[in-house]
Amino acid sequence: MSVRKLKPITPGQRFRVVNGYDTITTDKPEKSLLAPKKRSGGRNNQGRMTTRNIGGGHKQRYRIIDFKRDKNGIPATVKTIEYDPNRTAFIALVSYTDGEKRYVIAQNGLKVGQTIVSGSGSAPEIGNTMPLSDIPLGTTISCIELRPGQGAVMARSAGSFAQLMARDGKYATVKLPSGETRLILLTCTATIGVVSNSDHQLLVSGKAGRSRWLGKRPRTRAVVMNPVDHPMGGGEGKSSGGHPRSRNGIPAKGYKTRSKTKASNKYILERRKK
């Protein structure tokens, strides 16, 4: 993993920090695992704008990722490590011994030619997926299921990881990337290792145009609006804008919005840090 700082030969490159992509092995995706990706531009099925600041961007194709890792006991060889425009993490193309190819989320340290396997009884090595009941305590894990057979839903973005803290009865105690400690069923699976591309947080786009390539449109700050447009708008000159809140008037900092009667509250042992 590495980043590169470019020479400032243009104003847009002066502060730009780009990914070195030294772990990427090919720029040609596997055609059989590509799907079309339609952009909504923030519009709903009636063509009305329901989400602001979205639109444009470079055309992309979706890579079909295997989040379930349900080919148990069948070894797979890593063929390539690739860039995926739909997520911050890198992905790995793996080929199973029966000939099937799949994309999986790549972990840090995953190399081409390495063999990975999923299912109970696998060795706790980087890239292997197994139930929480088989993983040694204290292991760094990622791509965690929340319900058995659901597929990975947590700790999937670049550089993220969780830690398996304890086991009690039919539950495992897992410390999540947010700092929250929560109970997860032992039958849920997780992948050993930290998600790849951990340098993603160091990147600097350098210019506004790069946000447009990613499909992000300009966003007007609330404090420069008029009172009719936003609760923080109005005032003479550069007014502070009052208490930070959303366009609908919901406070933005420190205000708890989680339901006190939410069913999953009983599984949360410690809330995330503020």
149-160 pLDDT tens trace? 999 999 999 999
Q: How far apart are CA 42 and CA 150, in angstroms?
A: 28
The mean per-residue pLDDT over the stretch 57-81 comes to 97
Q: Report which DSSP code applies to 273.
A: P
The yes-or-no verdict on residue 104 having pLDDT over 70 is: yes
* pLDDT interval class at 187 (50, 70, 90): very high
Give 94's contacts (C-beta < 8 A, 6+ positions apart): 76, 77, 78, 79, 101, 102, 103, 104, 116
Helices (H), 80-228: 208-213
Q: Is 43 helix (H, G, I), strand (E, B) or coil?
A: strand
What is the predicted pLDDT for the residue at 55? 96
What is the predicted pLDDT for the residue at 240? 79
Asked which of 28-42, 80-94, 234-248 is least confident by mean pLDDT, the reply is 234-248
**Percent of the chain clearing pLDDT 70 (strictly above):** 99
What is the predicted pLDDT for the residue at 242? 85
Nearest to 189 by CA among 14, 71, 51: 71
Per-residue model confidence as pLDDT tens digits over 206-261: 999 999 999 999 999 999 999 999 999 999 988 878 889 999 999 999 899 999 99
The yes-or-no verdict on residue 1 having pLDDT over 70 is: no
Domain(s) of CATH 4.10.950.10: residues in the chain: 225-267
CATH (one of 4.10.950.10, 3.10.105.10, 3.40.640.10, 3.30.200.20) for 225-267: 4.10.950.10
What is the predicted pLDDT for the residue at 120? 94
What is the predicted pLDDT for the residue at 199? 95
> What topology is assigned to 3-200 in CATH?
OB fold (Dihydrolipoamide Acetyltransferase, E2P) (2.40.50)
Residues paired with 216 in a beta bridge? 54
The mean per-residue pLDDT over the stretch 161-174 comes to 97
The mean per-residue pLDDT over the stretch 103-122 comes to 96
Tell me the average pLDDT of the chain: 95
Domain(s) of CATH 2.40.50.140: residues in the chain: 3-200
What is the model's pTM?
A: 0.93
| Positive/negative CA dihedral, 254, 218, 17, 143 | positive
Which DSSP string do the residues of 150-177 spell out, in sequence order?
Answer: S---BS-STT--EEEEEEETTEEEEE-T
Q: Is 267 helix (H, G, I), strand (E, B) or coil?
A: helix
